[in-house]
Amino acid sequence: MRDLGNALQLARETGVALGHFNVSDLVLLKAVFSSAQDLKVPVLVGASEGEREFMGVRQIAALVRSLREEFDFPVFLNADHTHSLEKALEAAKAGFDSVVFDASALPFEQNIRETKGAVEALKSINPSILVEGEIGNIGTGSEIHELATDLSKYLTTPSEAKQFVELTRVDVLAPAVGNMHGMSQEMVEGEKKKRLDIERIAQIRTAARVPLTLHGGSGTDDGDLVQAIAAGISIIHINTELRVAWRRGLEAGLAAEPNQVVPYKILPVAVESVKQVTLSRLRLFNQIAKPAIGKKDMAASTAREQQAVP
Ligand SMILES: [Zn+2]
């Protein structure tokens, strides 16, 4: 699997989706990479403008590149929600595999103009970089919100999607299909799930004719996610669920040994906590059953996992 475009095409052909997980430190990156390695599936690491600011644009690019090279593993890096051309170019120059150019807060015509310009500029730096554009409103902030916003009235229409892709020439489209960034407290407790408009996803996929990304996937109904993949979603973003697991794991690690000051003795608890989420999501997106304890089942699962990596 040479590049992200290749991985996306293969995902589409085999009816699975790439998991996209945001990272802002080494705990999250270790959890994401080790889950993908365990399951032998390609994975997309995401870093938003804020996350890049914290880690360093070239530094996160170097980390992900080192994993890809040392383990000869399909791990890719995406510059998530990039609002300015300057930041998009900075990521492309650092070697990111894709950029989400997000001008969705602007009026539609202006979003088209700016995204089209970004596609041209980014491809001139790296012709094989993938550029994703975004239309519609799916809220901002992958965090816990007081109230869940009702975004069902802002769904992307198939004709908007078609026009946007044709005029901007983006490689990937992020529509609003019932998804939203962040989670409500009820979602964190598992009492409520986001629901997706599956029919709308299928209509948009047919009209746009490019792979689709589902943003704000945290707290979404599992059945809806599976149906969304079948309807045309090829990348699913999970961030808030990871952040919740990161905090809980960190707190548990600190509480377990109140006098411990050695980071690498505390942080593995946080890695393990995040890994529970990334493993569960990657299994769902790649149709990998959770292995049963029996020896026979383990062997069958290993065989399937080996098949999953070309
Ligand atoms: Zn997003």
Distance 20 CA to ligand 1 centre (A): 10
User: Buried (b) or exposed (e) across 266-299, using 16+ Cβ within 10 A?
Assistant: bbebbbbbbbebbbebbbbbbebeeeeeeeeeee
Instruction: Compute CA distances 305 → 37, 225, 283, 287, 290, whole Å.
Output: 10, 21, 10, 10, 11
Cβ neighbour number for residue 230 with a 10 Å cutoff: 12
pLDDT digits (tens, 9 = 90+) for 210-248: 999 999 999 999 999 999 999 999 999 999 999 999 999
Q: 2: buried, middle or exposed (CB in 10 Å: 19+, 13-18, 0-12)? A: exposed
Instruction: Please say whether the beta carbons of 85 and 118 come within 8 A.
Output: yes
Distance 164 CA to ligand 1 centre (A): 18
Specify the pLDDT at position 144: 81
Specify the pLDDT at position 303: 46
Distance 105 CA to ligand 1 centre (A): 13
Distance 127 CA to ligand 1 centre (A): 24
Helices vs strands, H then E, count in the chain: 13, 10
Distance 237 CA to ligand 1 centre (A): 7
The least confident of 141-145, 191-195, 245-249, 292-296 is 292-296
**Residue 230 token pair:** 């079948």
Question: What is d(CA 31, CA 38) in angstroms, rounded to the nearest whole number?
Answer: 10
pLDDT digits (tens, 9 = 90+) for 116-155: 999 999 999 999 999 999 998 777 777 787 765 665 668 9
Specify the pLDDT at position 309: 44
Distance 181 CA to ligand 1 centre (A): 6
Specify the pLDDT at position 293: 65
Distance 56 CA to ligand 1 centre (A): 20
pLDDT digits (tens, 9 = 90+) for 70-111: 999 999 999 999 999 999 999 999 999 999 999 999 999 999
- What global pTM score does this model have? 0.91
| 80 classed as catalytic | yes
Q: Which of 38, 80, 171, 221 is catalytic?
A: 80
Instruction: Please say whether the beta carbons of 119 and 151 come within 8 A.
Output: no
